[in-house]
Structure 1
């Protein structure tokens, strides 16, 4: 930089060591290269001739470089860019509380489940306060209770949805997070990790999640094993928008088919798709959706499917596996 300021001077590429000798600064050399005032300022810098050379970071008191003051320096100067991350669903600066409790998407998710469990949500709460609101929402709530599992699942899926938006370019959608919470609760129930004690005081809300606490889960027939399902969501031109798959554990084939249909509906709603055409190869599943009936184990799933579709607007039809 000094060379560009004084191109006509000599020693424009000289090292600092050529400007001092065993006794200190060589003012003769300094005056040959710099203006008198600058040479005087340089000569006023104390030198330790006997000490080894080292780089000094003058922002810190001990002269050692650390990242903390460097970060603060860059942020304070705002040199051309903003280092603080922006929220993936709004223009606010991203903080822990903003990600999990105070943005537009998280507000919708918390409000959805708060309305089910009659737990009022308060704006401005932090992560700890939000969890405690659920943890102490009733006298029966204890470790492992549904009211402690719900907020943990919301936190987790808000985080994964945020990461998908930041690193994969996928838009954050509240209904997708809600769908993932429902699905995980269903998986936990099918795995036998949710029992009546975990719904104590809130047993009447289990059907909202397609779970019946009044009947034990019957052992499946031998012909039915570990089931899985999935689907593809396309637009009206046939272009693939999104695909999904999931494992449904040990259950009846009909139950797995209906769970896959429900997952597809929730995912489509989360993507903002209003009119849905459901194509499935099971005539029995179609009959249960449109006409009713079927074993009691699927009634909760059927009720949720009917809550999300409108037969005046949406279509349910059969398609052979070869065409699907």
Structure 2
């Protein structure tokens, strides 16, 4: 397209200069600040007889952007595709934690016991929950597994309901010597202390 030198064309060039530019992106914020501080500098020069310094416009833009960063109003997403530029403004972000796969080993229970592994899940925003589990014997063979939706009121409730369902299946199949393995320490403590709480009297 032709270059007409207008402010409108200049702004369009900024707004569409990156692959990730959207509302709130730094490539939209910077031109707005530049225009604003040009306007202030022009007014000072015209009405207050102050010298017009382009460098002062740049310093003010840098200072305002750094203020937004310090106030927590500029997030990593606002710099998407321009993280190197963020560093030049003094805006340094903590790198996202990288998780690496880890090898785990399932330990068989001692004969003649079974091991019940269960896990419940609860999504607070949608209030959706579910759970599942698997029972293995002392040879490492799977006796049964299950998964089901739940009507839980919390993450703890989901864990308890899942454990309850797994133990009910064990009871219905005449399996009484069961090791329980789960990642919810609070549920394990409740079971060991024989507590009865607000989770429907399941414990």
TM-score range for the pair, normalised by the shorter chain length? 0.3 to 0.5
> What is the TM-score normalised by the length of structure 2?
0.45
TM-score, normalized by length of structure 1?
0.28
Structure with more contact order per residue of length (Cα contacts < 8 Å, sep ≥ 6): 2
Task: Looking at secondary structure, tell me which structure has more helix per residue.
Answer: 1
Q: Identify, as 1 or 2, the structure richer in strand.
A: 2
